[in-house]
A = this chain, B = another copy of it.
Amino acid sequence: MGNLDTLIQDLVIANRILARKEVVDAYGHVSVRHRENPNRFLIARSLAPELVGPDDIVELDLDGQPVRDEHRSLYLERFIHAAIFAARPDVMAVVHAHAEDTLPFGIAQEAKLRPVIHSGSFIGTEVPVWDIADNFGDTNLLVTNMEQGRDLAKCVGGNSVALMRGHGFAAAAPTLIEVVRASVYLPRNARALMRAKQLGGPIKYLSSGEIAARNRGYSPYSVETWRAWEYWAKKAGCGHMLTRPNDGQSHVANR
């Protein structure tokens, strides 16, 4: 199987995992940068992520336009992905989603979302909140053009995640596996922090040294990370699509 086919299959797996983990439902999307051409990225046509298959993946440029004739509908908010890929050469994968437990931190902005659990370290020391109203006034809250996308990308800056007020979040990472992990653990970290705050007293956040130590040691294809990816893919019903991209070998476990 060629490189591009493998990438497309991984993107399908990412779609299914995010659906299974309830990070996305009818809405929300995940994309991955093209390996040969960094000015292009892959994303599904307008479809609920759980229903996405390889034939639903389309190739867009960094203005969010399809590089081939495409008669099928595209995600309205594909500009989120285009603008982040354009602003951040280090980013290879992007998620936009509405995961419910991230929403309160965008709505009650005095409460900063920061990592409190080890798996939350992927979200970084800072999680900025982007409010579309600041620069665009009264909108339908959706990111529907490049100008809005670039404004959001500016807010993301060098961070891994930005919350979007009253809407959801955008996450960016150096690999597909990492962006899925960040998207799965972001709401989990949010719940742990919400509940810790309800218990009262001082909160012990991860220190910046701990976040750095976790990132230093992190490899997306380590045994530990692959263990989760493989398990989540199986739970999402697409264990048969698994390929370990760094060596081209299939590591589908036999159970």
Contacts and interface: CB of A to CB of B under 8 A. Distances in A.
B26 A228 contact: yes
A138 B209 contact: yes
Contact of A200 (B110, B116, B193): B110
Copies of this chain held together in the complex: 4
Contacts of A108: 196-197, 199-204
Contacts of A106: 204
Nearest to A209: B138
Contact of A53 (B107, B118, B214, B255): B255
A197 B108 CA distance: 7
A153 to B, nearest CB: 19
Nearest to A77: B224
Interface in A74-101: 76, 98, 100-101
A124 interface: no
A114 to B, nearest CB: 11
A124 B142 CA distance: 18
B227 A48 contact: yes
A52 B167 CA distance: 34
A51 interface: yes
A227 B138 contact: no
Kindly list the 9 A-B residue pairs having the minimum CB-CB distance in the complex, ordered from nearest. A138-B209, A110-B201, A26-B228, A48-B231, A111-B199, A104-B195, A118-B141, A108-B196, A107-B196
11 contacts: A27-B227, A50-B231, A104-B192, A108-B200, A109-B202, A109-B204, A117-B166, A118-B140, A138-B210, A141-B210, A194-B195
